[in-house]
Amino acid sequence: LGASVFVVGCVVQATAASITAFLCGRFISGLAIGLLSAVVSLYQSEMAPPELRGCLTSVYQLMITLGILVAAGVDALLLDSVN
């Protein structure tokens, strides 16, 4: 369900003819990412062996944070190269 909603949001963004349509696509995609973020950590904690539950959930959150850090670093590098 979450992946389907995300694809719908991506299609709306890709075919947007106005900024309003593009923002609607971003909103739909954001809802899907929020849904998937909640469901994945829930699924991990339910399916993992008891001795690994906390570790897997913590590593999942750490990797999300690391991805945000890398994206910010790439953004800063690209911004500096343009100016």
pLDDT in tens, 27-64: 999 999 999 988 988 888 889 898 998 899 899 989 99
**pLDDT > 80? residue 80:** no
**Ordered alpha helix ranges (H), the chain:** 2-14, 19-47, 53-82
The alpha carbon dihedral of 41, 76, 18, 11 has a sign of negative
pLDDT in tens, 59-79: 998 999 999 999 999 999 998
